[in-house]
């Protein structure tokens, strides 16, 4: 029991002593400019869309390669294996298509929020 009380007191003491160190980090919030949040949301959504587009391009290339392998297969076993790989590649591409569609919607909604925010700002 003595050890747990000592550990508790030590933890409380550390929390109190380190409290002032963390307060300035929270107080140093970025300066509020109009629509800053919406602007960052649009930038992040577009960056994520670029990543998704890169993944989609890779998956699309994999499907093309698998289709070519099916055509070039000589034996039944090779063709069967190539068809399996093609099905897997198409399924993977389909998942990325859904993700891409969702990300395009996120970008559109973020841009709409930004436009709404900018429209509500008084012009100077």
Please report, to the nearest 10 degrees, the dihedral formed by the alpha carbons of residues 110, 112, 117, 123 taken in order: 130
Grade residue 121 by pLDDT with cuts at 50, 70 and 90. confident
Grade residue 90 by pLDDT with cuts at 50, 70 and 90. very high
- Domain annotation covers residue 16: no
Name the pTM for this structure. 0.65
- Domain annotation covers residue 12: no
The percent of residues in the chain predicted with pLDDT above 70, rounded, is 74
Q: What pLDDT is recorded for position 8?
A: 55
Judge whether residue 64 has pLDDT over 80: yes
- Domain annotation covers residue 6: no
Judge whether residue 7 has pLDDT over 90: no
User: Could you give the CA distance from residue 70 to residue 107 in angstroms, rounded to a whole number?
Assistant: 37
User: Could you give the CA distance from residue 122 to residue 116 in angstroms, rounded to a whole number?
Assistant: 12
**Domain enclosing residue 85, as ranges:** 36-119
User: Could you give the CA distance from residue 119 to residue 124 in angstroms, rounded to a whole number?
Assistant: 12
Q: What pLDDT is recorded for position 16?
A: 52
Grade residue 91 by pLDDT with cuts at 50, 70 and 90. very high
Residues 6+ apart with CB under 8 A from 83: 70
> Which residue do the tokens 């008084």 mark?
122
- Domain annotation covers residue 41: yes
- Domain annotation covers residue 25: no
- The pLDDT tens digits of the residues spanning 17-57 come to 555 554 454 544 555 788 899 999 999 999 999 999 999 99
Structure token digits, residue 104: 């395009």
Q: How far is CA 43 from CA 29, 98, 120, in A?
A: 19, 21, 20
Q: Total domain count for the chain? A: 1
- Domain annotation covers residue 22: no
- Domain annotation covers residue 58: yes
- Domain annotation covers residue 18: no
Q: What pLDDT is recorded for position 6?
A: 59
């Amino acid at each position: 029991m003595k050890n747990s009380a000592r550990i508790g007191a030590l933890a409380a003491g550390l929390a109190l002593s380190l409290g002032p160190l963390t307060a300035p980090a929270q107080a140093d919030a970025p300066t509020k400019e109009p629509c800053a949040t919406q602007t960052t949301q649009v930038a992040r959504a577009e960056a994520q869309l670029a990543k998704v587009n890169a993944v989609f391009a890779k998956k699309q290339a994999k499907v093309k390669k698998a289709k070519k392998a099916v055509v070039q297969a000589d034996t039944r076993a090779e063709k069967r294996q190539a068809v399996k790989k093609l099905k897997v590649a198409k399924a993977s591409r389909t998942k990325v298509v859904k993700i891409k569609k969702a990300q395009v919607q996120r970008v559109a909604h973020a841009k709409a929020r930004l436009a709404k925010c900018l429209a509500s700002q008084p012009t100077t």
